Structure 1
Amino acid sequence: MDLSSIELRHLRYFVAVAEELHFGRAAQRLHIAQPPLSQQIRRLEEMLGCTLFLRTSREVRLTAAGEELLERSRQTLRKIGDDCTAALRIGRGEAGVLRVGFIGSGMLTALPRMLGRYRRLYPEVDLQLREFSTSGLVQELRNGTVDVGFLRDAGPVEELHIEPVFTEPFVAAVAKRHRLAEQKSISPRSLRDEPFVLFSRSYGDVAWRRTVALCEAHGYLPNVVQEAPQWLTILSLVGAGLGVTIAPACVERLRVANTVCLRLREKHHSTSLELAYRDTEKRPIVLAFAALAREIFKKGIGGRG
């Protein structure tokens, strides 16, 4: 028995004849001539060392060995088909595991909508989501434990491709009983003597410096009396009267009790949500995700879920 020379085409030919029980119809189904088909079936029988078909002038029937091989050949061909389909989906970015990191304020933009759209388009991808600070997410991206992420004002980072997908202005947040709360817009200079509630510089150095730069442009450094990691916490502390803050405009969507967000007349400062992944990234699953993110944010719905 010489099994080393058996090829998939032998099994396909065999299955066609076994299902048709007629060499002529099987040849038509396979789009080949009948003589070569008959030759390949005989060759398969020789390699196996047993007869698969009983042939007479009136009919073709399977032997017991043929019946057994038919079921196993079907299973083999189905398995190979499934394996090739799985590989194709991986190659197209339609399957696999995708680890996505994000910052909390990203959830106040079009990001949730984008993730929902991705889930519907790629249901076979195991989408794993984790929240980080910008600095923490940068580290996770660089060491490969996160595949793609959404940062805020990360700036150029070695080993990472970073691009803005949504840019927005800053707003000021004050308590409802604050002296400025009735204003529609204010200058950052109006906050000069106010205590500030802000996120720690360690959460994102460039984002922190960009916020502080808005104050510096008006001649002062913010007097930070309280730090907090999340915008919901920061705005809640502002509403409680502990201070004021300057934040991305998307935080208005939080609608925190006793807190009012005011537009800033400063037009030269803005903050960006950024898409990031390793600059050597070639995997279709990551590139397809990035392409969808660009598409969703490009539609100008960055601040709408």
Structure 2
Amino acid sequence: MNINVEIELRHLRYFVAVAEELHFGRAAQRLHLAQPPLSQQIRKLEQILDCSLFNRTSRSVRLTVAGEAFLERARRTLLNVSRDLEETRSIGRGEVGSLHIGFVGSAMLTILPAIFREYRAAYPGVQLHLHESFTAKVIEGMQSGTLDAGLLRDSDPTEGLDAATIYSEPFVIVLPSRHPRAGQKSISPTHLRDEPFIYYPRSAGSRAFEKPLSLCEEHGFRPHIVQEAQNWLTILRLIGAGLGVSIAPACVRRIAAPDVVCLPVRSNSGATGITSSIEIATFTGESRPIVRGFAQIVSAIAGKRIVTN
């Protein structure tokens, strides 16, 4: 007979119960079965295996040599099946697997560390792969299939991707600490008209590039960019060296050295309403549990956040 076809998991469970109890009546009670059907299924299992698993007398039940060998294998099979089922359930819940997340470096100065910390605590079985880049490069990574989700700054609308804001902050104007206006409480972009700018490249993302510059355009000029740099730490150090000024998201205050100052932006009519946004990007119609689990953690952290700009 074909054992793979004939033997069912219930046969193994019944056999293990009888083997451990060495009593058909107690085994039947344990399995919530009547004794006759249990005895019938054990006889069927022995027929399939073509050997006796138990020596039965009117007073006792004992395992045969074959029964002792089969007990070890039956337990192992049931354990492996249980583990496989639980692993499958975990995959279905997004609790195991690999997750590739792209993110912009400046987001690490906001709520991103808390997001990663909470996700690691909630999903310790997931292999989390983090990829730092510009917003535009993160989007390219998602489009090419190398990234599962992205954390962006001021992203451009992209077909096939949904972006939701999880954190907003104002912009600040960054000056060398020796600048004549460094001692002010706030500063209008008007005073930057003739200043050289240190800035990141347009390739980072067109909207991310243009939004801070729009603060200057509101005051009738477009800044003269004399130097580009790939990250805010380098930009701040160049400003501290006196090479220029910049407009940055407020979070850069966290890495500002004493040789620079970060001043609130003041418009002609008071405080400006233009802000910078950190966003989570996922594929439109995303249904993978592992990605949805990450998005839920992001939403939970964003919901708990208290703004203290």
Cα contact 2:135–2:152 (8 A) shared by 1 = yes
Q: How many residues align?
A: 304
Unaligned runs of 5+ in 1: none
Unaligned runs of 5+ in 2: none
> What are the residue-to-residue correspondences of 1:196-235 with 2, within 5 Å?
196-235=197-236
1:149 aligns with: 150
1:50 and 1:139, CA in 2 relative to 1: closer, same or farther beyond 3 A? Answer: same
What's the CA shift string for 1:169-207, capped at 9, x where partnerless?
100000000011000111111111111000000111110
Structure 1 length-normalised TM? 0.97
User: How far apart are residue 301 of structure 1 and its match?
Assistant: 4.0
Q: Percent identity, aligned pairs only?
A: 54
1:32 aligns with: 33
Cα contact 1:189–1:215 (8 A) shared by 2 = yes
1:276 aligns with: 281
Output the CA distance in 1 between the equivalents of 2:258 and 2:101: 31
1:162 is the counterpart of 2:167? no
Structure 2 length-normalised TM? 0.96
Output the CA distance in 2 between the equivalents of 1:300 and 1:42: 64
Q: Which amino acid aligns with 2:245?
A: V
> What are the residue-to-residue correspondences of 1:103-142 with 2, within 5 Å?
103-142=104-143
1:289 aligns with: 294
Output the CA distance in 2 between the equivalents of 1:15 and 1:257: 72
Q: Which amino acid aligns with 1:186?
A: I
User: How far apart are residue 227 of structure 1 and its match?
Assistant: 0.4
1:225 and 1:249, CA in 2 relative to 1: closer, same or farther beyond 3 A? Answer: same
Output the CA distance in 2 between the equivalents of 1:241 and 1:265: 22
Output the CA distance in 1 between the equivalents of 2:240 and 2:86: 55
What's the CA shift string for 1:23-81, capped at 9, x where partnerless?
11111111111110000000101111110000001100000111111000000000000
Cα contact 1:108–1:303 (8 A) shared by 2 = no
Output the CA distance in 2 between the equivalents of 1:302 and 1:201: 29
Q: Find the residue that maps to 1:70 and give its secondary structure.
A: helix
User: How far apart are residue 303 of structure 1 and its match?
Assistant: 6.7
Cα contact 1:110–1:302 (8 A) shared by 2 = no
Q: Find the residue that maps to 1:185 and give its secondary structure.
A: coil
User: How far apart are residue 100 of structure 1 and its match?
Assistant: 1.0
User: How far apart are residue 257 of structure 1 and its match?
Assistant: 3.4
User: How far apart are residue 265 of structure 1 and its match?
Assistant: 1.8
Q: Find the residue that maps to 1:146 and give its secondary structure.
A: coil
Cα contact 1:27–1:33 (8 A) shared by 2 = yes
What's the CA shift string for 1:84-120, capped at 9, x where partnerless?
1111111111111111111110000011011011111
User: How far apart are residue 268 of structure 1 and its match?
Assistant: 2.2
Cα contact 1:110–1:303 (8 A) shared by 2 = no
Q: Find the residue that maps to 2:12 and give its secondary structure.
A: helix
Cα contact 1:194–1:244 (8 A) shared by 2 = yes
1:247 aligns with: 248
Q: Which amino acid aligns with 2:120?
A: R
Cα contact 1:173–1:246 (8 A) shared by 2 = yes
Q: Which amino acid aligns with 2:174?
A: A
Q: Which amino acid aligns with 2:300?
A: E
Output the CA distance in 1 between the equivalents of 2:307 and 2:145: 27
Q: Which amino acid aligns with 2:286?
A: E
> What are the residue-to-residue correspondences of 1:174-189 with 2, within 5 Å?
174-189=175-190
Cα contact 1:114–1:292 (8 A) shared by 2 = yes
- Runs (4 or more) in structure 1 with deviation over 2 Å come to 300-304
Cα contact 2:173–2:245 (8 A) shared by 1 = yes
Cα contact 1:101–1:148 (8 A) shared by 2 = yes
Q: Which amino acid aligns with 1:55?
A: R
